[in-house]
Structure 1
Amino acid sequence: MSELAKRTVVGMILIVVALGLAFIGGWPFALMVALMATGMYVEWTRIVRDWGIGWKILGFIYCLLPALALLWIRERAEYQGLGTGPDLLIWVFLVVWSTDIGAYFAGRAIGGPKLAPSISPNKTIAGLVGGVISAAAISGLWAYSQGLPTILYGMAVPFAIAAQGGDLFESGLKRRAGVKDSGNWLPGHGGLLDRLDGLVPVSVLTAALMLSGWL
């Protein structure tokens, strides 16, 4: 099986699991989030094991905040009139997933100038633009179809950029540590940090919008 095929199959499985548990909610979703955060922190501590206690504390916060944000979004969005059930949570997922997919295919198809060659030599400006356009279109369609607040139409663009920033932050972390992937749990994807780096800023920013009253 080619690397792309392996990546696609594993990615589809992860999407089905995430969507299924998002719809179920309750303790099954909370358990998935807890396992996700734990796995991320295990990978983080392996990467920064020789960097001092400060990095371990930072990693704890880095893994805890998106977990709390996801739980908050899933349980509180409906009470705040932000769609029904997992509508807003799925919007968060779609921003992250469509950014990743759009950036991957646009970067491969177009190429061109590198986005941050000293951090991640494979990422291109075309990939960034493709990811942003993909996120705006797909998450925008979802927000419109579910009657979510119109502010989300505009938020998809900066949130997609934030997702790419999360990806670059994790790439920089790995480059400093001299490792290619954060783990090998997910064939074709690496570790949980590799797969969820974009979800960290997008989930936290979405929860912050809710808490601030902008949503």
Structure 2
Amino acid sequence: MSTSARWSDLGPRVFSAVVMLVLAALGLWAGGYVFAIGVWITGSLMVWELVRMLAPAARGLPVQLALLSGGALVLAWLLPGLLVLPLLIGAALVGMGQLRHERWRYVGFTAAILLACHAMVMLREVAGLPWILWVICVVIASDVAGYFVGKTLGGRKFWPRISPKKTWSGTIGGWVAAAVIGVIFGFVTGAGPMLAPISVLVAFTGQMGDIAESAIKRHTGVKDSSNLIPGHGGVLDRFDAMLGAALAASLLWGLGLMPGLT
């Protein structure tokens, strides 16, 4: 592969990334309903893309299940915390009943999307801005480092049957970048040096989110979840790693294993 071909997608990726970063920064700074609505829309679009992949012939169903999922996220914001888990899983199960095939893939991935989106909103509103920025920076740093290290060094594939472009060099480069972010935010949040290995764990779960979405795409025979984001494919393509990272961070938080955050 020539050098120009290897880096041919860099321009659209950078432009789209800048636009998404600006929108995300505005939402994060505003917080409250502004950030929550952005997350709800993102989650709904991910479900829309998922249904289009799993049931391409089901006209109208992607929109219906996207609206159902978005509505469940809004209700989860309004209802007491004890009702959130059954509400979001219940919404995924209701959608599952509308599909003739791929039901278990749908319910598993949709439940992950909904729980991760709700976790992102709670991290911003309850834990505070530094903690949601930590999760986002861990994912972005590991993704960017993984992309450039993998493109530059190449080498053995991480999981060739599922994600043929992901290399071990890029994966490890992503872990190193996540650890650096952990050290920085360890000082910012007062969590200390233990946030570095936790950041590597969160980065790893983010990479597994990416792998999980790649597995669905290979199973359904599609290259991208959609073409909504130039250079990145679909919303699910761009935020699959954020799903895994948000779920891991919220689980650690809930178990009381996050240093500096109770």
- The answer (yes or no) to whether the contact 1:162–1:198 under 8 Å persists in 2 is yes
* 2:226 alignment counterpart: 183
**Unaligned segments of structure 1, at least 5 residues:** 78-84
| C-alpha deviation, 1:129, in angstroms | 0.5
* 2:256 alignment counterpart: 213
- The answer (yes or no) to whether the contact 1:107–1:126 under 8 Å persists in 2 is yes
- Report the more deviating stretch, 42-51 or 162-171: 42-51
> 30, 36, 44: which is aligned to 1:30?
36
> 112, 118, 121: which is aligned to 2:155?
112
* 2:83 alignment counterpart: none
| C-alpha deviation, 1:53, in angstroms | 3.1
RMSD across aligned C-alpha pairs, in angstroms? Answer: 1.5
Letter aligned with residue 153 of structure 2: I
| C-alpha deviation, 1:188, in angstroms | 0.1
Q: What SS class does the counterpart of residue 158 from structure 2 fall into? A: strand
| C-alpha deviation, 1:150, in angstroms | 4.2
- The answer (yes or no) to whether the contact 1:45–1:59 under 8 Å persists in 2 is no
Q: What SS class does the counterpart of residue 190 from structure 2 fall into? A: coil
> 6, 12, 21: which is aligned to 2:12?
6
Structure ranking higher on relative contact order (CA contacts 8 Å, 6+ apart): 1
| C-alpha deviation, 1:149, in angstroms | 5.0
Residue identity (%): 34
Structure 1 or 2, whichever has the larger Rg, is: 2
* 1:141 alignment counterpart: 184
TM-score scaled by length of structure 1: 0.91
1:99 is the counterpart of 2:105: no
**Unaligned segments of structure 2, at least 5 residues:** 1-7, 56-99
Number of corresponding residues:
207
TM-score scaled by length of structure 2: 0.75
* 1:62 alignment counterpart: 112
| C-alpha deviation, 1:72, in angstroms | 1.2
Q: How many Å separate the matches in 2 of 1:140 and 1:21?
A: 25
- The answer (yes or no) to whether the contact 2:182–2:193 under 8 Å persists in 1 is no
Provide, for residues 36-93 of structure 1, a one-character-per-residue CA deviation record: whole Å limited to 9, x for no partner. Answer: 100000001111116343333223312201111011111111xxxxxxx410000000
Runs of 4+ aligned structure 1 residues displaced above 2 Å come to 50-60, 145-151
Letter aligned with residue 51 of structure 2: T
Q: What SS class does the counterpart of residue 165 from structure 2 fall into? A: strand
Q: How many Å separate the matches in 2 of 1:52 and 1:168?
A: 18
1:156 is the counterpart of 2:203: no
* 1:165 alignment counterpart: 208
* 2:26 alignment counterpart: 20
